[in-house]
Structures are given as C-alpha cells and as structure tokens.
Amino acid sequence: MDFIKPTIEYAELSPLFIIFGAAILGVVVEAFVARPRRHVVQVSLAAAGVVGAFVATVLVGLNLDEVGDGAGRGLVGAEGSVVVDGPAVYLWGLILVFALAGVALFAERKLDAGLPVFAGQAAAMPGSEGEREAANAGLAHTEVYPLVLFAVGGMMLFPASGDLLTMFVALEVLSLPLYLLCGLARRRRLLSQEAALKYFLLGAFSSGFFLYGVALVYGYAGSMGFEAIHTAVLNGSDNRSLLLLGIGMLSVGLLFKVGAAPFQAWTPDVYQGAPTAVTAFMSAATKIAAFGAILRLYYVAFGADRWDWQPMMWAVAILTMLVGAVVACVQGDVKRMLAYSSVAHTGFLLTGVLGVQAASELADGQVTSLQAVLFYLTTYGFAIVGAFAIVTMVRDANGEAPSFARWTGLGRRSPVVAGVFAYFLLSMAGIPLTSGFIGKWAVFTVAMSAGAWPVVLVAIASSIIAIYFYIRYIRLMFFTEPEPDQVLATVATPSPLTSVTVAFCAVATLVLGVVPGPVLDLAAQVGDFIR
Amino acid sequence: MTEYVVLSSILFTIGAVGVLVRRNAIVVFMCVELMLNASNLALVAFAKQHGNLEGQVAAFFVMVVAAAEVVVGLAIIMTIFRSRRSASVDDASLLKF
C-alpha cells in the first residue's frame, strides 16, 4: 500500500504551531527550570508565544489569497482539516488579544500580598497543614501557563476546523485545560473545586452528545468534511432523520459551550467558583471560539438546510435572552450577575446568527450576519474582560468580595474604578457612546433584514430588562449609603498587569463605541467562509 | 448494518440516562465514557456502510480524547473526594443562588 505524504501549509498555520509549540515548551520548562525562576520564565514564555502568534496571525491575514468568486479569501489547509480564511483569522486575532489579557491577569501577584491567584498546591486539602506549608513556602502552580496556552490553541483550532473530527478534537483541547484551571483558586477552594467538577461533568456530557451528532452526520453524508456534508445536504438523501438528529445533537454540544439556555446551568456556578482571572479569560475567549465554530458549522456545512435549523435557533435565542436577563435581576453576587448577563449576550449573539448570510441579498453599507456577530464578539469581549478584571481588584480581608453588599458606596471611596466598572456595565447594557450599542445595533439589524422580527422584539425587551439590573448596580455603587456597621470592600492597588488590562479594555470599549468604523470595516473585509 | 446503529443508540441512551440518575461522580463519569464508546460503535458501523476509513480513524481519535478526559476527570473527582470525603454529585451544592 502506498503511503502518501500529507501536505501541511506551515506558513498559513504558523499561529497554531507557535501557540502549541510554546505550550509544549512550557511543559519542558516546568520539568527543567528551578522553582524560584519558573514564574518569570513561564509568564515570559506564554506572553511571547501569544504575541508571536498574534504577529503571525496578522501576517497570515494580510497575505490571504482570494478564492473562487472573490467572496472569501484563504485556503483549506492540512488536507482539508483546517480552514484558514478571513473569519478564522479575525477570530484568531481576537482570541489572542484576550489570551494576552488572560496571561496578564494570571500573573498578577500584587493584589493578594505577593501571592498568585492560583493555589500553592492543588493536591493539598483545603484548610490542611499541607496547604499552609505550601503557602508559607511560596509555592505556586506555574503549570497554569502551559494549560492556558493549550486552551488557546484549542480555541484557535475550533472555529478554523474543516471537518467534524477536527472540531471535536479542538473542542476537547480547549475544554480540558479549562476544567483544570477552574479548580485551582487559592481562596474559596471548595467552591472552586465544585465549579471544576460541575463544569467537567456537564462538559463531558455535552461533548458526548456532540460526538454522537458527529457520528450521525457522518452516517448521513459519508464524510466528515464540511464541504462534503454541504454537497450531501444539497443533493438530499432518504436518510434525513439521521441529518436532523445529528444537527440537533451537534447543537447540544455547541450551545452548551456558549452557555445558551436550556444548557446555561453551568455558567453561573463555574463563573462564580473559578478564579476570577480564569473567568475573565474564558468568558471572552471560549465564547468567541464557540461562536466561530457555530457560524462555520451552520453556515458552511448546514447552510443549505437552513430552514430546518433556524426555527430551533429562534427558540433557543428567545429563551436564552429571557432567562439570562430575568434571572440576572435576582442575583446577589457580582460574578453571578455578570455570568447571567453573559448568558443574555449569548442570546443576542444567536439573534445575529439568524441574520442574512449572503452579501448579495443586502443593500450597500449593510453588514452580513457573520460580520455583525464578529463585531459583537469584539465589543462583548472587551467589556466582560474589563469587568471581571475590576472584580479581582475589589477586595476585603477574605480576598475578593463579589457579594453586592460589599460594593455599597464603592463610587464614593474609589470613584475611578467604580466609574470604569459602571462604564463596562453600560456597554453591556448597550447605551449609546459605548461599543455595546453598536454591537447590538449590528446584530439586531441583520436579524431584522432576515425577517426574524419576533426574535428582535424579544431581544429589545430583554435589553430593557437587562438595563434594569445594570443601572441598579450602578446605583448601589454611587447612590447608596452603606449602613454604619456594614463590612465594605475596598479597591486594592494592582500591579500594572491588571491596571493596564483594565485601561486597555476601557479604551477599546470607548473607541469602538465612538468610532466603530475601522473595526466594522475590518469585519466587513474578512469576507465569507470558504469551503 | 442497522443493528449496529440501533445497538449504539441503545448504549448511548443507557449512558445518557445513567448520567442523569446516578449520584456517584465516578459512575456518572463512566456513563459519559459509555456514551463516547457508543459513538465509536456508530462511527465504525457507518464507516463500514460507506466503505471509507474516516469513521474508523475518528474512532481512534475519540479513544485518545477519552483517555485524556479520564486523566483530567479523575484528577478533579479525586480532589473533590479528598476535601469532602464524598464523591456524590448531590453533595456538591455550595454554588447556587
């Protein structure tokens, strides 16, 4: 039997190779570098890997060739399993920006008196002698940096996959490190371990559904490749039940990852229990990667079967927005509130997914739903990372203080930090002059022009409900007098790692809200998915 | 041919129901593995039906992924068990509103 050597497009796939290479180097560093120097080496390696991959992504993006009729640019690489096209490169860039923010937040040590945010020794029992010894010896898990790089690699592969098998492997490569990272908090370790357990069991359950969906769609189409699936859907076959069941099961896996109702139950628990730096990273980056994968799977592989999956998406989008917005109103913990608000944002993004896909069906100057969703992901990512980064700074004697009562009157004590946090909340609420407004505008118009007006109506209604709980929180910070004997949180002084991240997110949110043109143009230039 | 697919769907259902009704985290996790293996059976059966190798190759990848998942999963369940002396998923209920 002849063995044919596969061709790998090393130049175009270089961002992936850099990230995975840096992750593997990180594992080697863990084995060979002395413990006192490990933290510095690991942080520099992770940051260098992410920045290097970002530069490579920009270079790849500038040199993509036009394909076919000019609607898309890029190439199908690695024997059909990885697709490097405009949207994929845009998502890579976005994921890498938030990965850098994540690495910066992971490396923060000043907030907790020189201690890192991660447990000194995860294997030591909470409250045990071993834990105290590990803390006194200044131990720190520097494995988190290779882990986060592996997760970033999986996230980059996820929206760029060209067949179902690659998509499944990428899903696991991004999830497994995140399960571990969630369980590594230094403080409130029982909550953190519980979050990891819940995330892991539910995540494994949902990826089981995803995999069975892969098998069913493969049974229908006879191939894993998205182009072959597209052809099979176009030609039709008598086994349509296989296809429909397969789409449904694949949706369970993907909708779980983005936290859409009715698969949102893990979101608040995991966001609350995980170390806040991890929450900040995964709330933005996982959502970006998973929405990239949803867009590719539904537009590229199942685009011809749109009339079958759109009603399901309508229902899920409506349910997600309502559940997210309504349940966020009754929360008493800021991390949980932000988690439910991120569920509502998932609903808004799904509204965008329902929009018009072909540029030819649109008037001049209108964006397609792919571009609207890409822009919304950009705005949402900056706001949520900035907000969670501020949550790490607001502390009391027991570390972070996420309960509402502790934040009472924070605006009087630290007007700048509270003001920036309020600005992020207003952006998430979609008030004009913030990036969130432009993002919401974009996704609502694309859904409207596709005739999904009931979904848009619900979206506007839930935006109004959402404004209620954001404004209530701003009132709590600025206009509520604390009780005399109330325990209050104060803002700890962070190192530049956190403050620069917050400042960068705030500036990005402001700029995207005032002059969204350049980024909208960039999202428009990425073109379409290629097959 | 159909028999294998039917068998795989039965196995998948047993796994999914097991995840929902069992309390011990280890057993829940074994049920997830059963779901993955049911998918493997379906993949191999469809590969035979279509006469190509993609499904069989996928089955190998799934085995590797399942092994990696076991490592991560047992590590998490171990830490939970050590700190709580229980692996029941009902006991993990600190996070709620």
pLDDT digits (tens, 9 = 90+) for A480-508: 888 888 888 888 888 999 999 999 999 99
pLDDT digits (tens, 9 = 90+) for A449-470: 888 899 999 999 999 999 999 9
How many angstroms separate the CA of residue B92 from the nearest CA in chain A?
A: 6
The complex's ipTM? 0.96
Q: CA distances (Å), A80 to each of A228, A261, A322, A332, in order?
A: 11, 33, 39, 48
The arithmetic mean of pLDDT across residues A307-314, rounded, is: 91
Listed residue (A428, A444, A442, A427) closest to A513, CA to CA: A427
Residue found by looking up tokens 């409250």 in the block: A127
Could you tell me if residue B10 is inside a domain? yes
What distance in Å separates the CA atoms of residue B12 and residue A212, rounded to the nearest whole number?
8
Q: Do B92 and A169 touch (CB under 8 A)?
A: no
What distance in Å separates the CA atoms of residue A6 and residue A240, rounded to the nearest whole number?
33
pLDDT digits (tens, 9 = 90+) for A55-93: 999 999 998 888 766 677 888 888 889 999 999 999 999
Collect all residues of chain A within an 8 Å Cβ-Cβ radius of residue B28.
201
Q: Report which DSSP code applies to A100.
A: H
DSSP B80-93: HHHHHS--BTTT--
Q: Do B92 and A204 touch (CB under 8 A)?
A: no
What HEC string does A496-514 produce?
HHHHHHHHHHHHHHHHHHH
Number of domains in chain B: 1
Among candidates B36, B73, B79 on the partner chain, residue whose Cβ is nearest the Cβ of A208: B36
Q: Do A219 and B42 touch (CB under 8 A)?
A: yes
Name the pTM for this structure. 0.95
Taking 80 as the threshold, does the pLDDT of residue A358 lie above it?
no
Q: How many beta-carbon pairs under 8 angstroms link A with B? A: 135
User: What domain range includes position B42?
Assistant: 2-84
Identify the band that residue A359 occupies on the pLDDT scale cut at 50, 70 and 90: low
Could you tell me if residue B16 is inside a domain? yes
Listed residue (A61, A213, A26) closest to A522, CA to CA: A61
Query: Which residue in A4, A141, A194, A329 has the most chain B C-beta atoms within 10 A of its own C-beta, making it the best mutation to test that interface?
Result: A194
Identify the band that residue B91 occupies on the pLDDT scale cut at 50, 70 and 90: confident
The H-or-E segment that residue A399 falls in is: strand A399-400
Taking 70 as the threshold, does the pLDDT of residue A128 lie above it?
yes
Could you tell me if residue B8 is inside a domain? yes
Is the Cβ of A330 closer than 8 Å to some Cβ of chain B?
yes
Give the angle A395-A401-A405 at the CA atoms, nearest 5°. Answer: 120
> What tokens were used for A490?
């104060």
Taking 80 as the threshold, does the pLDDT of residue A471 lie above it?
yes
How many angstroms separate the CA of residue B81 from the nearest CA in chain A?
A: 10
CATH code for the domain in which residue B13 is found: 1.10.287.3510
Could you tell me if residue B89 is inside a domain? no
